Each structure stands twice: as structure tokens, then as C-alpha cells.
Amino acid sequence: MASHSARPQPLAAVLPPLLLGTATFNTQYVDDPAAMPYRRIVRRALDLGVTGFDTSPYYGPSEELLGEALEASGADRASYFLETKAGRVHSNGFDYSAAAVTASVRRSLQRLRTSYLDLVFCHDAEFVSAGEVVEAVQALRALRKEGVLKYVGISGFPVDVLVTLAEAILAKTGEPVDAVLSYGHCTVQNTLLLKAAPRFAAAGVSVVLNASLLNMGLLTTRGVDNGPQAKWHPSPAPLREVSAAAAGICTERASAGKLFGMKGIEQVALRYALDVWARRAAEQKLGTVAAEGKVSVGPSVLGVTTEQELDETVVEWWSVLDALGVPHPSPSLLHGKATATTPEESLQRTQQVRVLVEDTLWPVFGEWKDFAWASPDEGWVNQLKQ
């Protein structure tokens, strides 16, 4: 195996600012992942300059489908950034032992059809003890020395727990964790990640990625009661109700032609989260470098199930970059589906979305603004430790 142990650059210099998340390549989001156009989605992402891919063995067949699609694309391995996770075996089972983490990574290499991984996260680290997280991080760092992976991170839901773990890793190992992946905490409904950013910076974290900008389907026109998420989504009923009300407002405005050309809450939520994290992470030096090393922006992970969703996401991302004055690939890649905007027009769109969110949608969320459900639930037991 070729060695990739040397890390000549910090993670912020190599991590793409927008990554395709493939949790959607799973029955939690679609009835038959193998029947979705996953090969075309991955090929389309590469064509549009989206060169980062996030997955996990916990996401059902996601690793295998992604590995197949990347191989079929013919893309050179060095041209894309590949990250996965380890430690979560199933919904109620975690094994953070060095042996299990090592075995998980080696299996991921086979599934993803690659000789190395760019970044590996300890998956949903709030479900185990700090000591177990440190053990897993050390196991991943040992694999880093072998050239199996380059960077090590932690992921999870409660932001305060992620911060505490990042601080503990630095204190106990003398080396900060390279990356933290937070999900559902920088959205239209929940902005707790923005408030936690200074603590991540103080813990020496290189980059913080924002994922699940639609909060696992909660911030969509369909909602989570009318699809596969109804079986597992952890949001309480009152939060689902106010989210549906917020979606209804966006739908009404779109029908009246008063939603800035957007179709519904999905685009509003994407635009808001992409923009605020791009700016906040850069302010706290938690971003990744875009535009040939000249500008830092906060990276985001987006999941889609169709090429159209991918195109719409990329359009919003490019508009965010326009507003920040950051160069990006040409809109001509979308074959007439989008028109180029000036920085002034994009900045106006950013401001319009912010006003809508802060003045109209936040009052709808009311006391549920910045609410985050418990993870894990009270009394939860790791079945693999019984």
C-alpha cells in the first residue's frame, strides 16, 4: 500500500468547502437506495466541482454505493476528498475499542474501493464515555501513521458534548482533534453551533463542518411525518408542528411570488445555513480555504436524493460565494438552469433570507427555537456493552 502518512498541509488547506453527504444513500431516507440515481448524483457532483464526500458504515449500503459510484466515475483518487466514520455499529450499539475501530476502517477501505481515507470521524461520540473517545482517536492516529488515513475527527449531535470532548482530547493527548462534524445545530431552527464556535477554536480544532442543514428532513415542505423519517426521526410532535407551520409560510409566499424566486422552505433553510456558517466559521478560524487559498469559509455537508436537488443546492452555494466575493465554477455547468448573479444581487438575496428567517420564521418556532432533543435518550443503554 502506498504511504499517505505525511500531512504537509493542515486540514483547512485541503478540505473542500462543500461536501456531498451520503446518509441519504440509505433506507432511512429512501425506500430502495440501490434504485436511486446514486451514480449520476456522484458524477454530477464531481462535474460541478463538489469534490468532497461524507459517508459512514452506519448508513446502510452508503459506503458500498459511494465506492462503486466513485470508481465508475473514473475520477482520479487524488481529485476528491473522502471521509467516513467508525464506532457506531447500529442504532443502539457502539464499539469504540481500538480493535473495532481499526477493523471498521479497514472494512471501509474495501467498501469505498480506496487505499486510503482522507478523514475518519468517531461517529456520534456522545453515546460513549470520554475515555472511549480518546481510545478511538488514538487508534485512528495509529492508522494515520500507517498511511491508512490522514486526519481524525469526532462527530455527534449535542454541541456542548462535542466541545467538551474536543477539550478532553487536547488535554489528554496533547494534540487537538483535526475536525468536528456537527449536525442539526446550524439551521433555520437551531443556531447553537454559532454560539459554540469560540470554544471549538480554543480547543484547537482545525475545522468544524456543519451537516444536516434541513435537520434530517424536518425543515422540508413534506416534513418528517410523510416519509421514511416518520419511523425514526427524534423530533417531538410540537417541534414538527411549528416546523410545518414555517414550511407553510414559505409555500404561501412562493405561490404568491414573494419568496425571492425560491420554491419553499428547503431553499430558504439551505441558503440561511450555508451563509451563516460560511461566515461564522471563517470568523473563528474554523473554516476551510476556498478560492486558491485566499478566502476561508465554513464547510457544509449536504445530502440529496436527486440530481435536481444537487443542482439547486449548488446554485445556492455559488450565490453564497458570490456574496462573499469568492470565485467558483461557472454557472454554465448547469446548462441554463441558473444564471450568473452579481455579488450585489447575491448579497441582497442573503439579506432577504435573513430577514425572513429572523423576523418571520423565528417567531413561528417560538420556544422551540434553538431546541435540541436529548441524545442519547435518558436511560439509553449500549447494547454492545451488556
Whether 304 is covered by a domain: the verdict is yes
CB–CB of 124/155 below 8 Å?
A: yes
| E strand spans, 189-294 | 207-211, 288-290
Tell me the pLDDT tens digit for each residue of 123-161. Answer: 999 999 999 999 999 999 999 999 999 999 999 999 999
Q: End-to-end distance of the chain based on CA atoms, in angstroms?
A: 38
Task: Return all residues near 161 (Cβ < 8 A) that are at least 6 apart.
Answer: 125, 126
β-strands 295-297, 288-290: how paired? antiparallel
**Catalytic residue among 38, 58, 59, 151, which?**
59
Tell me the pLDDT tens digit for each residue of 193-203. Answer: 999 999 999 99
Query: How many residues can be counted in the chain?
Result: 386
Nearest to 80 by CA among 104, 114, 37: 114
Q: Cα separations (Å) of 125 from 88, 119, 183? A: 9, 16, 12
Determine if the pTM surpasses 0.75.
yes
Whether 5 is covered by a domain: the verdict is no
User: 98 has which bridge partners?
Assistant: none
Supply the CATH number for residue 213's domain. Answer: 3.20.20.100
Q: Based on the structure, what is the number of domains in the chain?
A: 1
Q: What is the arithmetic mean of pLDDT over 244-253?
A: 98
Q: Does 330 score more than 80 pLDDT?
A: no
Whether 4 is covered by a domain: the verdict is no
The string over 248-257, giving b where at least 16 C-beta atoms fall within 10 Å of a residue's C-beta and e elsewhere, is ebbeebbeee
Whether 305 is covered by a domain: the verdict is yes
Whether 337 is covered by a domain: the verdict is yes
Range of the domain at 37: 13-361
Whether 371 is covered by a domain: the verdict is no
Q: Does 339 score more than 90 pLDDT?
A: no
Q: What is the per-residue pLDDT for 2?
A: 43
Whether 377 is covered by a domain: the verdict is no
Q: What is the per-residue pLDDT for 332?
A: 72
Tell me the pLDDT tens digit for each residue of 6-15. Answer: 556 899 999 9
272 is catalytic: no
Class of residue 152 by CB neighbours under 10 A (exposed 0-12, middle 13-18, buried 19+): buried
Whether 3 is covered by a domain: the verdict is no
Tell me the pLDDT tens digit for each residue of 3-54. Answer: 454 556 899 999 999 999 999 999 888 889 999 999 999 999 999 999 999 9
Q: What is the per-residue pLDDT for 338?
A: 52
